[in-house]
Amino acid sequence: MSQKWKAFENTIAKELSMWLFGQEKILRRAPCSGGWLSRGADGDIIVAHDSDVYEKDYFCAVEAKCRVVRSGGKRSDGSKDEWHFEQLLTSKKHPILEWWQQLCSSKPVQVDKKIRFLVFSKTSGIAKAYIAVGRTDCEFIQEAGVSLHAIPRISFEVGRSEDPQVLTETLSFFSFTEFLKRVDPKPLQKLWREKNGFGS
């Protein structure tokens, strides 16, 4: 794993740690994070301390992806090393969709029912990082009494059923820094504890 990937994950861990717990070092990037999900950790960003106190308030599974675009560069399979948002409309193998499926199939989501945060960027900094949140995850946030309506977003439906009664997956893309600035995590932690019988 390149140093840029590690630096990005470390930065995301620090920012989420401050957002959730008011301290920088409660969360950390998972060792060997690329293959860590299959071994049961809470995504790419995990609780650094062996403490139930923090685990009970860590309601999200986080996948952090930094694919730096190199002008004219190519990946190991020979494909161009580039991706764009508009390609979501034409490509079933868009990196964002692949990352989302990886997150959705992880233990923290499938077993622990944590809400899904996909944080990604084309650069190693967070100034241009985005966070993707699924339809049911947005519903959880709103159930906790936190409004997302005032935060600018791009919404994308991942396919659409011919039956209008069938709900499809909808991804909402927010600026990562704006999302953390405007969403208060405390009501989300409270609702998470209540739903999982952790108490107050």
Q: Assign 157 to helix, strand or coil.
A: strand
d(CA 107, CA 100) in angstroms, rounded, equals 14
| Cβ contact 153:183 at 8 Å | no
Q: Over the stretch 139-163, which tens digit does the pLDDT of each residue have? A: 999 999 999 999 999 998 886 666 6
Higher local confidence (pLDDT), 164 or 3:
3
Spell out the domain ranges in the chain. Answer: 3-195
Residue 70 — very low, low, confident or very high, per pLDDT cuts 50/70/90? low
Asked whether residue 199 carries a pLDDT value surpassing 90, the answer given is no
pLDDT of residue 39: 44
C-beta of residue 106 within 8 angstroms of C-beta of residue 43: yes
Nearest to 94 by CA among 103, 84, 106, 80: 84
Label residue 16 by pLDDT band (50, 70, 90). very high
Helix (H, G, I), strand (E, B) or coil at 75: coil
Give residue 83's region: left, alpha or beta (phi > 0; psi -120 to 50).
Answer: beta
Measure the CA–CA gap between 91 and 107, rounded to whole angstroms.
Answer: 27
DSSP label at 169? P
Does residue 22 register a pLDDT over 60? yes
Report the pLDDT averaged over residues 59-71. 80
For residue 70, what are its two tokens? 């190199």
Give 38's pLDDT tier (boundaries 50, 70, 90): very low
**pLDDT (mean) for 45-71:** 82
Give the pLDDT of residue 173.
95
Give the model's pLDDT for residue 37: 46
Q: Which of 98-102, 156-160, 192-196 has the lowest mean pLDDT?
A: 156-160
Which range, of 10-24, 74-88, 97-111, averages the lowest pLDDT? 74-88
At residue 4, the pLDDT reads 79
